Chain A
Amino acid sequence: MNKIEILKKGIIKDNPVFVLLLGLCPVLGVTTSAFNGFGMGMATTFVLFMSNFVVSIIKDFIPAKVRIPSFIVVIASFVTITELVMEAFLPDLFDALGLFIPLIVVNCLILGRSEAFASKNDTFSAVTDGLAMGIGFTLALTALGGFREILGSYSLFGYSFIEGDGMLVFVLAPGAFIGLGYLTAIFLKIIGER
């Protein structure tokens, strides 16, 4: 598969959030603002990229029966690294993302890509896939975050554009579900799946 194909798939055709419905927990949990969504997307992309990289390198040394635990240890290590680095150098983002940073480990997107792609392809393809899925994920997160921030706080990326507090429901749980539902419908329509 050529690399452009892989990129297009990850970002559009097989967008991890809107099409594959993977990794939904952080999608709903941290998208209270565009910036938080973007930050989480970047963190996840980093872990995806690095773990796809490592998995594709060591794939031939792992006996089949222990591959899932092995992948998980690799993923968990990069997540912890991300956690520590964020706490040290980006404390505000760290506070905003909270519990969801360690939860990147069980983001079924990352384990899914390790299992489905990185363990079966060469390193260059694997990291391209990691990058592509990560970008697709970040796109979805930022879009939903922006949607919820505009309606829920009357601001975008922190810049208020109208006076007032916004429609609270969009910053809370129901708004996340409903927002994602409509955004998914719109995305699928745009890319021609419906």
Chain B
Amino acid sequence: MEYIFIIIGAIFVNNIVLAQFLGICPYMGVSAKVSSSIGMSGAVMFVMTLATIVTYLIYNFILIPLDITFLQTISYILVISSLVQMVEIILKKVSPALYQALGIFLPLMTTNCAILGVTLLAVQNEFHLIQGAVFAISHAIGFGLAIILFAGIREQLDLVNMPKGMRGAPAALVVAGILALAFMGFAGLV
């Protein structure tokens, strides 16, 4: 039952982008087109889930027993950047088409603060392994939801007349704000 709360909480109530401000860089950078947003979401889901699992293991079986939790940030980021590197290599071999489609987004995963953020949050909430994995997948879905919605709106926005000063980033940001306002309606759901 509590898994439902984790899932709904992560996707809607505490949406990683619109409520917790993580993952804004790719959010702004990739959302000009719906197709790239979908690709980005897929990559994020994969890396985020894998990273949460691996960092959970590292935190609980290495950092805590050896009392070196101050190495948390460094070890997590090393895990994430290695995972991204690995995913790149594997994808190139296994599915070159997908690799091409994702293009530059893959290396960009390393600096996606949403990924490091979710791994740190999973530890903070003291989830165990399965809960952590569900948590990560749900947040990735939340990210995908937010970015694809946003991209859909931005594609339409490009076709519209707008004051020159607001075109591009400023308008996009205000739209994101309105989306965030809408998502606030989910508050109190869980």
Chain A–chain B contact at Cβ < 8 A: yes
Q: Which residues of B contact A188 (CB under 8 A)?
A: 165, 170
Q: Are A106 and B174 in contact (CB under 8 A)?
A: no
Interface set, chain A 46-94, CB cutoff 8 A to B = 68-69, 72-73, 76-77, 79-80, 83-84
In angstroms, Cα B118 to Cα A98, docked, is: 14
In angstroms, Cα B174 to Cα A172, docked, is: 14
Q: Are A102 and B120 in contact (CB under 8 A)?
A: yes
Residues of B within 8 A of A (CB-CB), count? 47
Known: A28-B24, A29-B21, A182-B174. Is A80-B73 also a contact (CB below 8 A)? Answer: yes
Residues of A within 8 A of B (CB-CB), count? 44
A97 at the interface (CB under 8 A from B): no
In angstroms, Cα B112 to Cα A76, docked, is: 15
B180 at the interface (CB under 8 A from A): yes
Interface set, chain A 94-115, CB cutoff 8 A to B = 99, 102-103, 105-108, 111
Q: Which residues of B contact A107 (CB under 8 A)?
A: 111, 113
Q: Are A174 and B81 in contact (CB under 8 A)?
A: no
**CB within 8 A of B173: which of A169, A180, A189?**
A180
Task: Give B23's nearest chain A residue, CB to CB.
Answer: A25
As a 0/1 sequence over residues 133 to 174 of chain A, the CB contacts with chain B under 8 angstroms (1 = contact) are: 000000000000000000000000000000000000100111
Task: Give B182's nearest chain A residue, CB to CB.
Answer: A174
B20 at the interface (CB under 8 A from A): yes
User: Could you show 21 A-B contacts with beta carbons less than 8 Å apart?
Assistant: A21-B169, A68-B81, A77-B74, A80-B70, A80-B71, A99-B124, A103-B113, A105-B77, A105-B116, A106-B77, A108-B25, A174-B180, A176-B177, A177-B174, A177-B177, A179-B177, A180-B173, A181-B169, A181-B174, A185-B166, A185-B170
